Structure 1
């Protein structure tokens, strides 16, 4: 992961190559008063000391001022930062990843909790067997990071000092590029695997019902899905067997003494997507019979119908131990958040046949894990987890290097498209300010004209004069407004639009416009 920077604490120093310093504030152009206001707000947020009412009121005003500066370009502050923070199989062991894993059903709750922090505006959760990543839009870069770290530590129960060495932290372009690579399968353990695209799409789908999954993250994940589709459609990166399940099957076959599935009795725990892929690749490797355990029969029966050439022995979870004892290779791919098989369970079982080396092999691709690692202490059993799959994926990466290079080009194109769209949002405050200023001038001049005319005009005539003034203003604003509107699809057009915006701000002195105040008067 070339752009990843480990989060070694808020005192880390920056490095070259485009990486962002962990602690460097994003207050480009922020006044000293703004910094002081942020500090006051943070002190109140993080302190347990009871402050006087006047101090609390002042801190609330300071935080509100910081928020207004973040959304109003005329306060001189940089727009909110997109932050990616989390851990992946590349830099964190499964023992830690499973503690931070968030089930899909809990994503809305996690988004809501994150957005309750004062410096986090939007949030998204991407939690799979290989990664746990949070994407947030932060009102303040370093305070937003601090709040996300606090949430990660609190929800996982892992002290922050133990968590930080394994975290990666990315900002803005690095963060968006990372998500595009994830969606394209370039950051996966098995390069080019397709399941991650479905998982990114699920984040987007769940986010549609979450208020905290706002405009920026909605646009980012939508663009990432497009990038993932293009990578798979326009390159050869996804050809062949590419998934965690296929790697698990290859690992297990590699460990069998005869390397032949006809010599081993296979059991699969779970009947979801991972199990479907397991059966698919087992069949392609010559496996003719599998035992499937699941909490309910319908999903297991649907799996049986999908692979008519494979003989299925379907059981409910009540038969778990009996089925495990009767098997030589056991794959765990269930959604259980608890251990299903522990050391004492396996210790009571008779060893497998000599043809499989008298060892019962467990391949656990669930996160959190379903098979206790202590089983490795037994003489006739061995447990592999997703981290052990690295042994069989190195050749995969070498063979897909050319396709990966082609994919990077496509990802850069989609990233530029997203950045152009996001930049186009900057013109919205300018449009509002220009129209507010024009309307304020029109209304003032209209009032002057009415006062000079006295009572000599009827209501109908006054309305006609007012409509005339509005028509003149709209005609004059048509050209500037057209120059400020852009759909964000063309980066060059966005650049021209932003140049027009800066020119209009100077000409009409829009930095002095208080849009909120003017709207109130109107």
Structure 2
């Protein structure tokens, strides 16, 4: 039995599809119950947010498990299974653990390091526990993921990386504009979420003269504009559909909408412009960079810049990734040890049954043996069995924890504590191959 993840996020699927798959608590309850009713699935937990839908299950068969999850998702959402396959990712065993640890740490979020997702993971876990769809495997997984997320946020400065991403993007934009600050400049900000709000704030701090804001939901853009005015930066709002009409009025564009389609394409560009794309999947068509006088900064290049540099933010990111890797190794080892525990129990039980049967035969064959003598023999047999099994049971758990592959000879030596004989001999004294097996060399005598 292993953990299986089937999911999609802002990195793999359009927002419109994520919205169709979004589940409130009542729908999640029905979906989780339907999942554990499938023949290959025994546990289920669903994480559903505006940016992701992930189904964590425990399955007894990988391929059957994937098909059962797809069938339930199709039934619940009304989305054709063939369409779902185009956007879903699948993770299994340790890969599933690595993914949820990364998610809970905020490393898979649009705003790297954001803390909201760890609360969403916790809520999803608590809800699944209350519904009775979580068993020992997902319990261990969720607890380890939450522990990892807490470590990342408490032991690194990753919480500041979202703001740092915007800072790096605007610093790069100013380099391209060949200015030290943004006085005398005007910017268009597309979107009204966390990243767009950070961008508007940083633009103001860098001296931007005024902002134009656009968002699919105009009310949210109006609220962001009001906050900007309160901070002393003039801001206007245009309908999202009219965003291309104001490109000729600005020097800089920041887009962070995670839109289903490109927010800006090459056909929209009226002239020289600097654009910063802070979305995954991308908001701005890469083709705009082919136009003379147009420069594009995107989030992938910013991530690489942060990882490749040696500043506080890059060190925090690398440390966070190291913590996730460490916790994945620990979790995997603990899981493998738990998985072999029933086999170890059966081994000891079988040994006890066999020794008990043999003692009973001894009792039958030697009826004249006193109770005292029989008790001594019984204790001796038990000590012999315990000593014979001690080394194998310890080594079984150690081998399971390391997940290393060993040969039969190595396994026997490890399990029973046998020393491999050492050999020290001159090479010329070793027998030739034909001397070891003359039949294979046509020299049978």
Taking structure 1 as the reference length, what is the TM-score of the superposition? 0.48
How far apart, in 2, do the equivalents of 1:386 and 1:212 lie?
Answer: 40
Contact 2:273 2:295 in 1 (8 A): yes
- CA shift for structure 1 position 311: 0.4
Contact preservation (8 Å) 2:113, 2:158: no
Match of 1:103?
18
The match for 1:275 among 193, 196, 211 is 196
Alignment partner of 2:151 out of 230, 235, 245? 230
Tell me: CA distance 1:380–1:100, structure 2 relative to 1, closer, same or farther (3 Å): same
Mark the runs of 5 or more structure 2 residues left unpaired by the alignment: 343-396, 398-445
State which structure, 1 or 2, has the greater radius of gyration over its C-alpha atoms: 2
Aligned equivalents of 2:101, 2:256: Cα separation in 1:
27
Three-state SS of the structure 2 residue aligned to 1:300 is helix
Equivalent in the alignment of 1:260: 181
Deviation at 1:81, TM superposition (A): 1.6
Question: Given that residues 290 and 313 in structure 1 are in contact (C-alpha distance below 8 angstroms), is that contact kept between their aligned partners in structure 2?
Answer: yes
1:363 aligns with 2:312: no
Residue aligning to 2:264: 341
Aligned to 1:400: 316
Superposed CA offset, 1:262-299 (max 9, x none): 35421111212221222233345454543222332355
How far apart, in 2, do the equivalents of 1:408 and 1:335 lie? 26
Change (3 A) 1:206 1:170: closer
Task: Give the counterpart of 2:61 among 135, 140, 145.
Answer: 140
Report what 1:112 is aligned to: 31
Contact conserved, 2:188 with 2:211, CA < 8 A, in 1? yes
Task: Flag the 1:158–1:230 CA change in 2: closer, same or farther, 3 A.
Answer: closer
Distance 2:45 2:254 in 1: 34
**Structure 2 CA distance, aligned partners of 1:340 and 1:418?**
46
Q: Is the 8 A contact 1:227 1:410 kept in 2?
A: no
Which structure 1 residue ranges, 5 or more long, are not aligned? 1-79, 352-358, 427-494, 496-522
For 1:324, the equivalent position in structure 2 comes to 247
Give, in whole Å, the separation in 2 of the partners of 1:328 and 1:236. 32
Equivalence for 2:303 = 390
Contact 2:183-2:206 within 8 A present in 1 as well: no
For 2:92, the equivalent position in structure 1 comes to: 170
Residue 400 (structure 2) aligns with: none
Whether the 8 Å contact between 2:192 and 2:220 is mirrored in structure 1 is no
Root mean square deviation, CA, Å: 4.9
| Pairs aligned (count) | 323
Distance 1:177 1:416 in 2: 10
Structure 2 counterpart SS, 1:311: coil
